[in-house]
Amino acid sequence: MLLTILYIIGITAEAMTGAISAGKRKMDWFGVMFVASATAIGGGTVRDIILGHYPVAWVKHPEYIIITCIAGVVTTLIAPWVERNHRLFLVLDAIGLVVFSIIGCRIAFDMGLYPIICLIAAIITGVFGGLLRDLICSQKPMVLHKELYAFVALFSGIIYLLLLHYKVEESLTTLITLIAGFSLRMTALHFAWSLPVFHFDLHDTTEHKK
């Protein structure tokens, strides 16, 4: 029940941030709803298609697509408030990221797939919605630059699988993973932690040879 409530909060927050991105690209209401839904439930959709897990989540639970579309439209009416409360949405996004990662990992685990596939499912579920949003809106994919984002999804998946391996009770496993993943994400934001960045400029190499 807790995971379901947090999931709904997560997809609502993600849909609203997606709608803001659509607004910055001056999209109409259909575009807003499309981007909002892609941001919120795109990761789960891609995961289900790759794993052959049917029906996909929003087909089985159409209320999810309704929630994301409504959240997108509502955002067009309260966009200034959403922008002013950017920090609140960072917190909700962090919760959503960990919840999505847990759900992705759990689905793959229940399908009897290898641990590495469970971790990949966690990452896809956690970050692919943001990737889709940025690609649709012609923006640099933020989840692949600087911030610890995809790594948090991986970290959450590892914690979750380890606790399952050691037979920790399901609700406690979920709670520990939520706390650990959320703490890492918020700490990384506070201290601006990031993975090493690979920078290669062919022009610089050519100039050096000269």
Q: Domain coordinates of the chain in residue numbers?
A: 2-209
Q: What is the DSSP string of 91-118?
A: HHHHHHHHHHHHHHHHHHHHTT--HHHH
pLDDT band at 54 (very low <50, low <70, confident <90, very high): very high
State the DSSP code for 195.
Answer: P
166-181 per-residue burial string, b: 16 or more CB within 10 A, e: under 16: eebeeeebbeebbebb
Instruction: Give 71-121 pLDDT, tens digit per residue.
Output: 999 999 999 999 999 999 999 999 999 999 999 999 999 999 999 999 999
Residue 204 has pLDDT above 70, yes or no: no
Residue 170 reports pLDDT greater than 80: yes
pLDDT above 70 covers a percentage of the chain that reads: 95
pLDDT for the residue 148? 86
Could you tell me which of 157, 59, 58 has the C-alpha nearest to residue 106? 157
Q: Which of 93-97, 158-162, 197-201 has the highest mean pLDDT?
A: 158-162
Q: Are 67 and 11 in contact (CB under 8 A)?
A: yes
